[in-house]
């Protein structure tokens, strides 16, 4: 574990579900679901930076994302392998349109 990123053994289901339960954070997870590392400023550009800072922290501290600084930029990746190992099927369920229809997950990802 680092000071910023919990090890997968430290993931708490309640913290992960709380992190994934907010529409903005859900849209961030959807954007990162391809597995590619993304520059944080390009994921949800219409949200104020101060608001995003809070959401990055919640996602990071719950173990959902990993942050990597590079100069003045911050890059994010979804910790899918760690989440799948700790909570098998959780992300697949939450990312499936069939499971939630037009919920906040779908609305947030479609803009």
Query: What is the per-residue pLDDT across 6-41, written as a single tens digit (0 to 9) for each?
Result: 888 889 899 999 998 898 998 899 999 999 999 988
More confident: 97 or 52: 52
What lies within 8 Å, CB to CB, of 109 at 6+ separation is 26, 27, 30, 31
Query: If you average pLDDT over residues 84-100, what whole number do you get?
Result: 82
Whole-structure pTM value: 0.81
In this prediction, residue 9 carries a pLDDT of 80
Structure tokens at 31: 């954007």
More confident: 80 or 99: 80
In this prediction, residue 61 carries a pLDDT of 92
User: How far is 107 from 102, CA to CA, in rounded Å?
Assistant: 6
68 membership: H or E segment, kind and range:
strand 65-70
Structure tokens at 58: 């919640």
């Amino acid at each position: 574990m680092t000071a910023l990123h919990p090890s997968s053994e430290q993931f708490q289901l309640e913290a992960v579900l709380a992190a994934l339960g907010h529409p903005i954070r859900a849209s961030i997870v959807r954007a990162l679901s391809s597995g590619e590392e993304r520059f944080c400023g390009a994921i949800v550009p219409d949200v104020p930076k101060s608001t995003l800072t809070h959401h990055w922290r919640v996602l990071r501290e719950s173990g959902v994302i990993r942050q990597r600084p590079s100069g003045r930029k911050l890059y994010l990746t979804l910790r899918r392998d760690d989440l799948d190992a700790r909570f098998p099927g959780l992300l697949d369920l939450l990312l499936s349109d069939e499971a939630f229809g037009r919920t906040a997950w779908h609305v947030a990802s479609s803009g």
